[in-house]
Amino acid sequence: MDSPGKPSFIERVAALLSREPEDRDDLLALLQAAFERDLLDADALSIIEGALQVADMQAHDVMVPRAQMDCVRLDSPVEDIAGFVVDTGHSRFPVIGGGKDDIVGILLAKDLLRHFAGREFDLRGLLRPAVFIPESKRLNVLLREFRASHNHMAIVVDEYGGVAGLVTIEDVLEQIVGEIEDEHDLDDSGDNIRLAYNGHYRVKATTAIEDFNEAFSTAFCDDEYDTVGGLLMRRFGRLPQRGDTVELAGLRFQVLRADSRRLHSVLVDVLPPLPSSSEAGATDA
């Protein structure tokens, strides 16, 4: 709380902006000057810059591409759906009929509780309507529509009406405030490596190579990178995107969470050992 007689935060910013900026660059320069004079802290400056940036961005800039969409098939057994939901850790899923261009609705993960509570489970009857938006939809407009409709997911379509990807309210907000951890994300205060569903491991990208080697009995070298994220970025030669997969040292790595700035978490599977030459010969005999 500001002490008596000391200008409030709003008054200090207003004083700084008393000279009307000429354009966006001028405004950003004023904000940067405010930060350098301790009128704004780094978090506040980042949020303001993010809010300004969002006004210039469109849905296709932040959407999860079609190939990386985690979808539930309408005809899948509920047990398979439940396992898939646990594996991916999302709270909402597009439900498809014949393919990804045939989206029949949105499934909320919490609605699966009806089945496990012994109640009647009708997947089609539980679906929420899917909202479709063009790739050119501006993010500031989309955020306003999300807030007004209380909807958290939209399906992005291209100029021909085909599904191009999906975008969530979290995707938009993260462009303003940075990474948002939810209840399915790894807890920063907890273990970096956790056993997930059916033998999968969820691993933070910030896990030290030394710790990863100890946990999985691997021998990755940490001379050129210190973390699992660094290892994967070196292997891909770029910042990997959600859904990207690579096999290394008998392990399969699948990117779970990544944004335009960094990798956050991966799913790791221990692959079955390849048959030895003697075993292969015995099989062929």
pLDDT tens-digit profile of 56-73?
888 988 888 888 889 999
Residue 229 carries which side chain, given as an amino acid letter?
Answer: G
148: Cβ contacts below 8 Å, ≥ 6 apart: none
Highest mean pLDDT, choosing among 4-8, 17-21, 148-152, 186-190: 148-152
Q: At what angle do helices 228-236 and 209-216 cross, to 10 degrees?
A: 90
- Name beta bridge partners: 94: 106
| Tens digits of residue pLDDT in 113-122 | 888 877 888 8
Which pLDDT tens digit goes with each residue over 199-216? 678 888 889 999 999 999
Please check the confidence at residue 28 and state whether its pLDDT lies above 50: yes
Residue 22: CB partners within 8 Å, gap ≥ 6? none
pLDDT reported for residue 186: 47
Q: Would the pTM count as exceeding 0.85? A: no
- 219, two tokens: 């021998």
* Mean pLDDT within 88-109: 91
Strands 163-168 and 92-96: unpaired
Distance between CA atoms of 171 and 152, rounded to whole angstroms?
Answer: 10
Question: Which amino acid makes up residue 200?
Answer: H
Of 179, 208, 176, 175, the C-alpha closest to 191 is 208
DSSP assignment letter at 109: G
Supply 212's token pair: 């990863």
Q: Does pLDDT of 153 surpass 90?
A: yes
Residue 222 has pLDDT above 50, yes or no: yes
In eight-state DSSP terms, residue 111 is G
- Least confident range of 160-174, 238-252, 254-268: 254-268
Least confident interval from 22-26, 119-123, 152-156: 22-26
Output the pLDDT for position 122.
Answer: 85
* Main-chain dihedrals φ then ψ at residue 29, nearest 5 degrees: -65, -40
**DSSP 8-state code for residue 185:** S
| Tokens 């200008």 belong to residue | 7
Contact 104, 97 (CB under 8 A): yes
pLDDT band at residue 154 under the 50/70/90 scheme = very high
Q: Report residue 5 as tokens.
A: 């007689």
Q: Can you tell me the distance from the alpha carbon of 226 to that of 233, in angstroms, rounded to the nearest whole number?
A: 11
Predicted local confidence at residue 181, as pLDDT: 55
Asked if pLDDT for residue 32 goes beyond 80, the answer is no
E strand intervals along the chain = 64-65, 72-73, 92-96, 103-108, 132-134, 153-157, 163-168, 193-195, 201-204, 245-248, 251-258, 263-270
Instruction: Say if residue 189's pLDDT is above 50.
Output: no
For the chain, the average pLDDT equals 81
Q: What is the pLDDT of residue 188?
A: 45
Rounded to an integer, the average pLDDT of 265-281 is 72
Please state the rounded mean pLDDT for residues 93-121.
88
The string of DSSP letters for 6-75 reads SPPHHHHHHHHTTSPPSSHHHHHHHHHHHHHTTSS-HHHHHHHHHHHHHTT-BHHHHPEEGGG---EETT
CA distance linking residue 15 with residue 25, whole number of Å: 19
